[in-house]
Structure 1
């Protein structure tokens, strides 16, 4: 694929990621993706012959990688587990607040809408969550209970993001960070 093709594909993925994160799978119609991306309609089917499910699946994986890379970088830094989780929650809180409370998690809405009915999207969501658990586990590697803690912390983060988005307040994120810090000391 040439540079122009890669740029068009990226624009389609960027538009899909934006629309899915704000409005979910059902809030991201293909006409909207084409309009937001500025790409020709034919490019959509050229780059994503599997249609909307392929486009959304790749978008979820891409958004997940971006957050996963941030988690990994934080996990690789020289901070305590409590500081790691606090930094993750600050990062996600900043991202949420900067989007005017519209962008919580690039995976959760799609997972809730499609996991029970769409195997390919369920698999994409599962892959992303597993990668985030792995990054958290790496940051907790010195603990015997790292595997259980990684899942528990991820579940708390996801819940806190949902509450923060609904309440349009960072307070749920702050409270979860405080409680996790108590657990990790």
Structure 2
């Protein structure tokens, strides 16, 4: 059910995903939803977001092993996210952004989940920048800027059904992170 919710929410958003759709895709009986997720849709979506955030964390950890610099890390992660988007025929972007945009103002629990995922990604990049020689305050600011650029690039790429925004932003982020 988590994987079905994750796929549907990423493609259709929180409000565009119904529990009946999730159960149908997961081939699960209705009773199992409330047995495993007594908090209903919000609890299921929270678990789906956590799994999606973990997927991106896994991509970052995998790429970090061979990336010699934060610039190389960001470019490799962007490439993987672009490949993922193209493979889904632009039906996937950031696995968290759609829900964050839909519910941040009115659902504190899901907003907290989304915020926590983004904070984790920001910290990972900031830590790499500190290791690369940036002071902590600058690393945090650069990491937040890079994350905002990445999110914007994914949105523009999905809207235009083109990798071009991701490639352009990747080049700019590499220059930004290399600046002294």
- Could you say which TM-score interval applies, normalised by the shorter chain? over 0.9
Matched, 1:13 2:2: yes
Distance 1:65 1:73 in 2: 12
Unaligned runs of 5+ in 1: 1-11
Alignment TM-score, normalising by the size of structure 2: 0.93
**Superposition CA RMSD, Å:** 1.1
Distance 2:67 2:157 in 1: 28
Q: Name 1:33's counterpart in structure 2.
A: 22
1:153 corresponds in structure 2 to 146
Give 1:181's match in structure 2, choosing from 153, 169, 174: 174
Is the 1:75–1:138 contact (alpha carbons within 8 Å) kept by the matching residues of 2? no
Partner of 1:3: none
- Tell me the matched-pair count: 174
Report the TM-score, using the length of structure 1 for normalisation: 0.91
Question: Cα–Cα, structure 1 residues 78 and 97, in superposed 2: closer, same or farther, change >3 Å?
Answer: closer
Deviations 1:95-115 (A, max 9, x none): 100000010011000000001
Counterparts of residues 113-132 of structure 1 (less than 5 Å): 113-132=102-121
Q: Aligned in 2, Cα 1:55/1:41: closer, same or farther, shift over 3 Å?
A: same
Q: What are the residue-to-residue correspondences of 1:1-185 with 2, within 5 Å?
A: 12-141=1-130, 142=132, 143-144=134-135, 145-185=138-178
Indicate if the aligned counterparts of 1:21 and 1:107 stay in contact, CA closer than 8 A: yes
Between 56-65 and 12-21, report the one with greater CA deviation.
56-65
Structure 2: gaps spanning 5 or more residues: none
Cα contact 2:142–2:177 (8 A) shared by 1: no
1:78-129 superposed Cα distances (whole Å, 9 cap, x missing partner): 4112111110110110010000001001100000000100011001101110
Report how far residue 75 of structure 1 moved.
3.1
CA distance in 2, matches of 1:73, 1:133: 17
| 3-state SS of paired residue (2:94) | coil
Contact kept? 1:75, 1:136, Cα under 8 Å? no
Which structure 1 residue ranges, 4+ long, deviate > 6 Å from structure 2? none
CA distance in 1, matches of 2:15, 2:119: 24
